[in-house]
Structures are given as structure tokens and as C-alpha cells.
Structure 1
Amino acid sequence: MKLTRRIFLGAASAAALFPVRSFAATQIDFGDVAITSVSDGHLSLPPAFALTGLSPEEIADLSARHNLPADLHKPPCNLTLLWQGERLVLFDAGAGPDFMGSAGKVSASLEAIGVSPEEITDLVITHAHPDHIWGLLDDFDEPVFPNAALAMGAREFAYWTDPGTAATIGVERESFAAGAMRRLKPFADSIRLLQDGEELMPGVSARLTAGHTPGHMSYEIATPEGRLWVIGDAIGNGHIALERPEFESSSDQDPPLGARTRSALLKALAASGDAVIGYHLPGSGLGRIRAEGAAFRFEEI
């Protein structure tokens, strides 16, 4: 595996599109397979997001050590682009124009590396939260990636297209349910629904990593020269999720299951040395997980 390129935007466009992150994409090669982390911008979240349950002193200590801003946390949104033969596979669709003004920048990032939405042959979803699928449709409810075959976990699709989900998901996530239903229904007759362990295409397999959402999928990309995991939000940040993976985060829909899944995934990734792209891990989200006693750290490539 080798790092091949980091695509930088011009200063003016970088300031406008990516206030936190000044590059559009980072790419590594595994022989004939290239994998690129593509920016969709960043989220803007209150400091307590994902830290509910910690004391003010713990939050202050964590924030100081990880240089987290006191006003708004701005985690990056890192999509994954897989180049393999004639296929150009995008993992997740980004936030689109209706979720947060700081996100929804994937089209600009793709343009910066010379890729048009029409060239995407496959679109693979980790889970159906707004920053991952609201970019499926444009303002006119037309597909943003018109030539892409869509795939996602069967359990995840069933959950978000169930009319009963909105009534059971909680008030704070009702808009998530309505937004997912709107964006997934148009694909109901054409979407490929994946089971845990199913091979999506040669060398790419779906792995159930539930907890953040009921059917959250990660994707293992195996090549003769190494492996990379597209982990979505199974590891949701670069601070508390790594330092205390057993911490039950309020950002997970099932916090106890999310903690168990996260702990097992971190141990496996640290033991294997496999590369990862985490949707909200620091920088490009592309790197490796290293064990540090009972905790872990993310080492960006």
C-alpha cells in the first residue's frame, strides 16, 4: 500500500467549502485498487454531542487534550471512493443541501479530483442517518448519482422504510425517519439489500456493525496487498470513542450495543493493522487504529 496523492483546493474555494479541512481527497493504492477519502465538508455540533453522561470536568479534560472547540465541534464527513477496474464505487451519499450548510460538499470534492456524479457506478450505504443519505436526491427529488446501482444492508433499509419507525425513534430523530423514508422509497424496486457477510463485489464484503443504527454496515475491502475497512459511524469520533470505547454514547440509537460493537471493532482493527476510513475520524478519516493499553488512538495516513 502506498499513499499516492492528497488533492488540495485553491485557497479561496477551500475557505468557502471546507472551513475546517483544506483538501478535497486523500488517496491510497492497493495494487490495482485505489481508495480515496472524499470530503463532504463537516458537521457543526454542540460540545455535549456524544458526551452526554460525562461530568463537566471530564468534558473539559477531553476537550483540552483533543483540542475540541468550546463553541461548536466540527467533525469531518469522509466519504469513500473505490476505484476498481470499470467500477467507481462511492460509499455513502453525503448530507445533500438540506441538512447542514457546512456539509453536502461531495460534488465539489468529486469535481476537484475530476469525477462527475454520472461516473459513479455503485453507491453503497453504511446507514441511513441524514449526513449519509440525504445526498441521494437533489432539490427536485432526482437522483444525484443517476447511473449508480444502490446497495445497503437489508435490516437498515427495512427499519428506515417502516412507517412505524417515526413513532418509535424518539422526537429528536423524527426528522431522520421522515428524511430517510423520502430518500429511500424511490429506490425500493431497484436497491440491492445486503446480508451480513455478503460479498457486494469481488473483494468487498458487508459486515454488520449495529448499534449506531439497527442495521449499520461496515465494508471490508480486501486486496492482495492489504485490507481497508469503511466503518461509517461504527467508531463515531476521534476522542471518547477511542479512549473509552465502552462509553455508551447518546449519538448511538442503541448505546449499549453501539459500545459493544465499537469495542470489538477497535480490538480487531488494532490487532490486524488494517487501514480504515471513518466517516467522522479526524482529518481524512483514513488511517489505522493503534492500541494504547485499554484505549486506542487513530493514526492518520
Structure 2
Amino acid sequence: MAIDRRDYLRGMGAIGLTLAMPTPLWSQSNVIAGQARLDTLSDGNLVLPKSFILGEMSPPGADEILTRYGLAGDTLTPDCNVTLFRDGTRTVLFDAGAGADFMPTTGRLIEAFDTLGVDPFDVTDVVFTHAHPDHIWGLLDDFGDLSFPEADYHIGADEFAYWTDPNTVSTIGTERQSFAVGAANRLAEIADRIILFDDGAEVLPGIHSRATPGHTPGHMAFVVTVGREEIMVVGDAIGNHHIAFERPGWISGSDQDGTLGAKTRQMLLDQLAHDQMRFVGFHLPNGGLGRAEKRDEGFVFVGEDS
């Protein structure tokens, strides 16, 4: 009996889920309104030195904040939450995860699809917030083929221009040169089916773009209409649930333009807290869905599990 690639990948996802870890790999967050459904799927987690966010010299008070969140030591392990939106017509994935080549603790998205009962071949659209490895390297599977072969791909015009510019690899810094090479190679794989858009565009019905630069030059967030509610997919514009909320004006080493990233983060949190709009953060805990509340000189992330 012949086994096609779709059957093989679905089976490998189930085997990987069984062997890799005893707990489920889907995240707890979902919003359901009629035919519309938004889920967050876990792609695993990153393992990062604390200095990646705070720099080699932590700002005064940073360690105290991290301790209050139960984060001790020199390593952080942020979750990776990929958002899946279905409206009865389209199956839209926001970012593609890290794939197999970035970190051994990431690349679990296809297993999460299998657990949720969704076929990656049914994804109609992949919409990128930006082109860092944990968001775009999962575009290709272990065979070097597209993980979501039936999809159209959407990315902001400025982000696409930055990562496809041959000069980026020599100007991004040595520690991120592999980011540039990996992004350029993967974007080349979808050059014939990629759709570019600008700030404020209706990327797909019920999905509007919002320019949120700083983490990368062309980073985008997206406002997604789920039933009568609007939910924002913020990507890495808000990169963690502790320092980014309590001290949004601090420069983050994870942002390519730290000053612009801080300005964007403060603006977003002001709006989200004022409007009490729910949002999904790629690296926020427990699926990443929640709200921001103003508190003292900063904010606090109020997550929710469903």
C-alpha cells in the first residue's frame, strides 16, 4: 500500500507526540464564537540567556522583578505560541514556528496540529508577524518541503524588503547573521506565492495589519475579528510577561532597534489596557491569551486559560 507524504507526516506527528513528552503540546487558550475559532498552539519553548533581554548588565530592579515571577538563575525559557484562526472558510496560521533546525526545545507545531485534530494541509494562509527564526524557520519541514503546502503566504512589505536585502546579512551583527540567511532562504522558497501588504491593510477578511516596528524593522501585529470581538495577535512586539509589562520603556536586547521597540511596546500596552482588548503574545505564558492592566508605573499581564 502506498503512503503519501500527507499520511506520513500526520503519522510522524502522532509518534513524536507520544515519544517526546508526557504532557499535551497544544496550548490552553482558545476563543470560540459561532463558526469562528481562535486557538494557540505550542511550538515548544526557547532557552535563552537572561542577558538576551536585559543585556550583560541588568538594570537596577530587574532581578527583583524576575524573582517575583519565579524566574531565578541566568536562563529564561519563554513559551512559543502560534495562533490558528478558523472562520469556517479559511484556516489561517499566524507564523510558522521554528522548525527542526533552530533549537531542540522548539519545532513541535506539527505535533500540536495533530493533537488538535487539524491537518497542516488544510491551512489556507500563513501570515507572518516577522521573520525571526522561531517564527519562520518552520516554513519548511524535515524534507525541505513546505510544511503548509496549500497555503498562500502573507508578510509586511517592509519586513520582506529587509530580509531579502543582500546587505542585511552584513549589517545585522554577527550574532544574528544566521537569522538573515535563514529568513532569506525561506522567503525565496515562497517567492511565487507570497502576498505583501502595508500598515492598516485588510490582509484577509476580518484580519487587519498594525505596524509595530522595533523588534524587527517591519514587525506587524494583527487585529482579528472573532465573532463580535477583536483580538490582537502581537507577535514579539510584547516579548515577555514580566519586564516588558512592568517596565515597557526599558530597552530589550531581543529588539533589533531597542529604542523603537520600547516606544512601540508602551504604545501597544497603553491601548490594550485602555480598551481592555484581549491579545495573544507569542512568548507569553499558558497559551499567551490575556489582557493588560495598568498598574503603578507599568502594566501587568492577566492571562486566561480556557
Instruction: Assess same fold via TM > 0.5.
Output: yes
Q: Deviations over 1:86-108 (max 9, x none)?
A: 21100000000000000010000
SS of alignment partner, residue 51 of structure 2? coil
The 1:114–1:238 alpha-carbon spacing in structure 2 relative to 1, beyond 3 Å, is same
The answer on 1:118 being equivalent to 2:130 is no
* Counterpart for residue 95 of structure 1: 98
Maintained 8 Å contact 2:252/2:262: yes
Bigger CA drift: 66-75 or 198-207?
66-75
State how far apart, in whole Å, the 1-side matches of 2:19 and 2:49 are: 22
Could you state the TM-score of these two structures normalised by the residue count of structure 1? 0.91
Bigger CA drift: 22-31 or 128-137?
22-31
SS of alignment partner, residue 98 of structure 1? coil
The 1:16–1:202 alpha-carbon spacing in structure 2 relative to 1, beyond 3 Å, is same
State how far apart, in whole Å, the 2-side matches of 1:39 and 1:29 are: 18
* Counterpart for residue 16 of structure 1: 20
Bigger CA drift: 28-37 or 246-255?
28-37
Could you state the TM-score of these two structures normalised by the residue count of structure 2? 0.90
Instruction: In structure 2, give the amino acid aligned to 1:152.
Output: I
Q: Deviations over 1:177-204 (max 9, x none)?
A: 0000111111112200011000012211
Instruction: In structure 2, give the amino acid aligned to 1:47.
Output: K
The structure in which a higher percent of residues are helix is: 2
* Counterpart for residue 223 of structure 2: 220
SS of alignment partner, residue 131 of structure 2? coil
* Counterpart for residue 66 of structure 1: 69
User: Deviation of residue 30 (structure 1)?
Assistant: 3.0
State how far apart, in whole Å, the 1-side matches of 2:146 and 2:35 are: 29
State how far apart, in whole Å, the 1-side matches of 2:269 and 2:208 are: 18
Maintained 8 Å contact 1:82/1:90: yes
Bigger CA drift: 58-67 or 74-83?
58-67
SS of alignment partner, residue 265 of structure 2? helix
Bigger CA drift: 139-148 or 271-280?
139-148
* Counterpart for residue 243 of structure 1: 246
SS of alignment partner, residue 283 of structure 1? coil
Bigger CA drift: 22-31 or 92-101?
22-31
1:126-275 aligned at under 5 Å gives the runs 126-275=129-278
Instruction: In structure 1, give the amino acid aligned to 2:129.
Output: T
User: Deviation of residue 72 (structure 1)?
Assistant: 2.5
Instruction: In structure 1, give the amino acid aligned to 2:191.
Output: A
RMSD (Å) for aligned C-alpha atoms? 1.9
Instruction: In structure 2, give the amino acid aligned to 1:244.
Output: R
1:19-30 aligned at under 5 Å gives the runs 22-25=24-27, 26-30=29-33
User: Deviation of residue 139 (structure 1)?
Assistant: 3.0
User: Which consecutive residues of structure 2, in runs of 5 or more, have no partner in the other structure?
Assistant: 1-13
SS of alignment partner, residue 135 of structure 1? helix
SS of alignment partner, residue 64 of structure 1? helix
Maintained 8 Å contact 1:14/1:23: no
The 1:56–1:201 alpha-carbon spacing in structure 2 relative to 1, beyond 3 Å, is closer
Q: Deviations over 1:114-163 (max 9, x none)?
A: 01110111101000000000000123321010001100101001100111
User: Which consecutive residues of structure 1, in runs of 5 or more, have no partner in the other structure?
Assistant: 1-9
* Counterpart for residue 3 of structure 1: none
The 1:13–1:189 alpha-carbon spacing in structure 2 relative to 1, beyond 3 Å, is closer
The answer on 1:107 being equivalent to 2:110 is yes
- Greater relative CO (CA pairs within 8 A, separation 6+): 2
User: Deviation of residue 63 (structure 1)?
Assistant: 2.2
